[in-house]
Amino acid sequence: MDITLFLQQFLNGLSIGSVYAIFAVGYTLVFSILGIINFAHGAVFTLGAYFTYFLSGGAVGTNGLLANLALPFQFSFAIALLLGSILSGLSAIAIERLAFRPLRLKGADPLLTLVSSLGAALVIVNVLQYLVGAEIYTFSEGIYGDLPASINLGTAERPIMIRTVQIIIFGVSAVMVGILTYGIGFTRMGKALQAVAEDATTASLLGIDPERFITLTFFVSGFLGGMAGALVGSSVSIASGPYFGIAYGLKGLGVIVLGGLGNIPGAIVGGMVIGLAEAFVPTDFSGYKDAIAFAILFVMLLVRPQGLLGRSRIQKV
Amino acid sequence: MQKLLEIQNLSVNYGAIQALQAIDLFINEGEIVTLIGANGAGKSTTLKAISRLVNPVGGRIFYQGQDVTRMAAHQVVRSGIAHSPEGRRVLTRQTVLTNLELGAYGRSDRLGIKADLEKQFLTFPRLGERRQQLAGTLSGGEQQMLAIARALMSRPKLLLLDEPSLGLAPQIVLEIFAVIRQLHQQGVTILLVEQNANLALQTANRVYILEAGQLTLTGNAAELLTDERVRQAYLG
Ligand SMILES: Nc1ncnc2c1ncn2[C@@H]1O[C@H](COP(=O)(O)OP(=O)(O)OP(=O)(O)O)[C@@H](O)[C@H]1O
Ligand SMILES: [Mg+2]
């Protein structure tokens, strides 16, 4: 492989890896605080893509209850992305209230919550299909304003073309990771959140209200999941309609297992690893990208069952 | 003397197990009261009911004359009751400093918190030397000191201590009890649950003895220390 192609693939990998990373961080956050995998996270990814699509002026297709509807106004992509992510965060809070909290307050087995989160995912997908149909939505061309579609990072003789959207994806994801790392690691609220994740009962003895932090966690998780969906959707279209998030949900699950369940730096590293690995899959095999990603995952877990950065199971008590 | 805490008719169940059966107990302001009893008698459950980690099925808890039976756990701390739980429960993945700072989570007086931090490091110099160490890597005795110091960071009026001597070397136990007496002199009211009945009776003003979820005996600590029944059952 010549160096130009290598660099190009590397930048592609960084871009898609960074979006896997923020999606996976949202996924793993809920696990870290509740010890439950939130299967509805993939559905929130889809919601984020739709919210941002409509807010940036996109119209509903010809199927579904809301056929041909569009907002009477439109936001710039940056504002639409921000509002779409906020709406996704609020949707995640609603999912928590309906599918998680009632079971938690009854002290139900976490396995039941797993099933109810799966149920929430199916409801969202079906309602979306009912409302906006199952067609493919593509963000309009001029969505990034006057920015060129791609820029050349190389020279005129040896061009290294990279799509603008990939730079945007990488930039936005990197900023989110930075804010999150600072917020969780270095602020009073972040430390309280970590306390709830380690031991909610003890946290409540310190004056921390665990329920408030569970709500906050779902918001942040949904915000990141929805933003990831919007970024991917704007880059490659909302393929497979309401089922858009399902494949990403599965891959995200792979990423957080790879990184170590509940481990935030692990989710970031895991996302980058999977994204880069996919980018270097030869074009002849690109149809098998997902299978290859999971094969890598499987081999890595054989070597490190606790995940890349997960704590080993043997702990000092 | 004024009653700081009063428990009336308190019952707690875990499913079919009746852990507490209609117990009555009070603590005056400024007292050290100790609660002793065999394993499984319901001592920890009593403390958990006060700090609202368990829901009673019957009875009332009054703190400073106010009914707190249904208050949320995180509000109980803010009203002045701190609980240093059984098994210490320090946040193992956080530093000593963060554990202490989180102990003051309900407070917003920055200067007061800072002063109280320094005060803990004065009382427990070992914690001061290890302020950046992860709490999970502390020795058992140091973790116990941290659990007590963290509880104190909320500036409690009433301190609930669950078996602070558990699993510690005799020398460390004496250190911890010296601190408990010192806190008492500074005016903190204390409810002490202990396996080490001898030490507890020497430290406390009054005693309650709990057997299988029921209070069977209460009285002056100094008197019960020489009581024949108590000596046989708890002091060996
Ligand atoms: N979460 C729980 N679920 C079911 N039963 C419980 C639970 N916690 C305590 N119990 C039971 O309630 C009773 C009282 O327990 P508690 O922990 O209050 O005893 P204790 O006096 O503190 O004992 P120890 O000295 O061993 O700490 C015991 O029979 C115990 O088995
Ligand atoms: Mg106990």
For the stretch B58-79, pLDDT in tens is 999 999 999 999 999 999 999 9
Tell me the two tokens of residue B98. 């963060």
High-pLDDT (> 90) share of chain B, %: 88
Ligand 1 within 6 A of CB of B43: yes
pLDDT tens digit sequence for A59-74:
888 888 888 888 888 8
Among B94, B136, B154, select the one facing A191 at the smallest CB separation.
B94
Q: B93: buried, middle or exposed (CB in 10 Å: 19+, 13-18, 0-12)?
A: middle
Query: Cβ B154–A201 below 8 Å, yes or no?
Result: no
Helix (H) / strand (E) element for B155: namely: none
Q: How many CB atoms lie within 10 A of CB B185?
A: 8
- The tens place of each residue's pLDDT in chain A, 317 residues long, gives 678 888 888 988 999 999 999 999 999 999 999 999 999 999 999 999 999 999 998 888 888 888 888 888 889 999 999 999 999 999 999 999 999 999 998 888 888 999 999 999 999 999 999 999 888 888 887 777 778 888 888 888 888 888 888 899 999 999 999 999 999 999 999 999 999 999 999 999 999 999 999 999 999 999 999 999 999 999 888 888 888 988 899 999 999 988 888 889 999 999 999 999 888 887 777 778 778 888 888 888 888 888 887 765 443 33
To the nearest 10 degrees (0 to 180), the angle between helices A41-55 and A210-236 is 60
Integer distance in angstroms from the first to the last C-alpha of chain A? 50
Substitution target from B47, B75, B89, B97 for chain A, most A beta carbons within 10 A: B89
Chain B residues near residue A207 by CB distance under 8 angstroms: 74-75, 77-78, 105-106, 154
Residue B155 gets the label, from left (phi > 0), alpha (psi -120 to 50) or beta, of left
Q: Are A62 and A133 in contact (CB under 8 A)?
A: yes
Q: What is the pLDDT of residue B236?
A: 65
Q: What is the spatial distance between Cα A231 and Cα B164, in angstroms, rounded to a whole number?
A: 53
Indicate if the pLDDT at residue B45 is higher than 60.
Answer: yes
Distance B49 CA to ligand 1 centre (A): 12
Cβ–Cβ gap A204/B74 under 8 Å: yes
Q: Measured between beta carbons, which residues in chain A are less than 8 angstroms from residue B137?
A: 316
Query: How much is the pLDDT for A316?
Result: 34
State pLDDT tens for residues B176-226.
999 999 999 999 999 999 988 889 999 999 999 999 999 998 989 888 888
CA dist., res. A106 & res. A100, Å (int): 10
Q: 3-class secondary structure for chain A?
A: CCHHHHHHHHHHHHHHHHHHHHHHHHHHHHHHHHCCCCCCHHHHHHHHHHHHHHHCCCCCCCCCCCCCCCCCCCCCHHHHHHHHHHHHHHHHHHHHHHHHHHHHHCCCCHHHHHHHHHHHHHHHHHHHHHHHCCCCECCCHHHHCCCCCEEECCCCCCCCEEEHHHHHHHHHHHHHHHHHHHHHHHCHHHHHHHHHHHCHHHHHHCCCCHHHHHHHHHHHHHHHHHHHHHHHHHHHCECCHHHHHHHHHHHHHHHHHHHCCCCHHHHHHHHHHHHHHHHCCCHHHHHHHHHHHHHHHHHHHHHCCCCCCCCCCCCCC
How much distance in Å is there from the Cα of B39 to the middle of ligand 1? 8
The residues on A that touch B, with CB distances below 8 Å, are 188, 191-192, 194-195, 198-199, 201-210, 316
Nearest CA to ligand 1 atom 2: B14
CATH number for region B3-234: 3.40.50.300
For residue B106, what is the enclosing H or E element? Answer: none
Q: Which residues of A touch B106 (CB under 8 A)?
A: 206-207
Q: Which residue in A22, A297, A12 sits closest to A174, CA to CA?
A: A22
From the CB of residue A37, how many other CB atoms can be counted at a distance below 10 Å?
A: 22
Is residue B216 helix, strand or coil? strand
Q: What is the pLDDT of residue A160?
A: 81
pLDDT band at B90 (very low <50, low <70, confident <90, very high): very high
DSSP 8-state secondary structure symbol assigned to residue B122: H
Question: What SS3 state is found at B9?
Answer: strand
Give the pLDDT of residue B189. 97
Q: Where are the domains of chain B?
A: 3-234
Contact between residue B177 and residue B196 where contact means Cβ atoms under 8 Å apart: no
Give the burial string for A78-99 (b: 16+ CB within 10 Å, else e).
eebbbebbbbbbbbbbebbeeb
Chain A residues touching residue B136 (CB < 8 angstroms):
316
The residues facing B33 across adjacent strands are: B191, B206
Displacement of CA A214 from its chain's centroid (Å): 18
Q: What is the pLDDT of residue A307?
A: 81
Q: Is the CB of B167 under 6 A from ligand 1?
A: no
**What is d(CA A264, CA A33) in angstroms, rounded to the nearest whole number?**
12
pTM of the predicted model over 0.95: no
Question: Phi/psi class of residue A46: alpha, beta or left (left: φ > 0; alpha: ψ in -120 to 50)?
Answer: alpha
**CA–CA separation, A46 vs A229, rounded Å?**
6
Helices (H) and strands (E) in chain B, counts: 10, 10
- Looking at the partner chain, which of A195, A205, A316 has a beta carbon nearest the beta carbon of B51? A205
CA of B88 to the centre of ligand 2 (A): 11
CB contact under 8 A, A206 and B106: yes
Q: Is the CB of B178 under 6 A from ligand 1?
A: no
- pLDDT, average across residues B100-116: 95
Give yes or no for residue B49 CB within 6 A of ligand 1: no
CB contact residues (below 8 A), chain B span 153-172, against chain A: 154
| Selection from B140, B153, B143 nearest residue B188 by Cα | B153
CA B173 to centroid of ligand 2, rounded, Å: 17
| Residue A20 to residue A256: CA distance in whole angstroms | 10
Query: If you take atom 31 of ligand 1, which residue's CA is the nearest one?
Result: B40
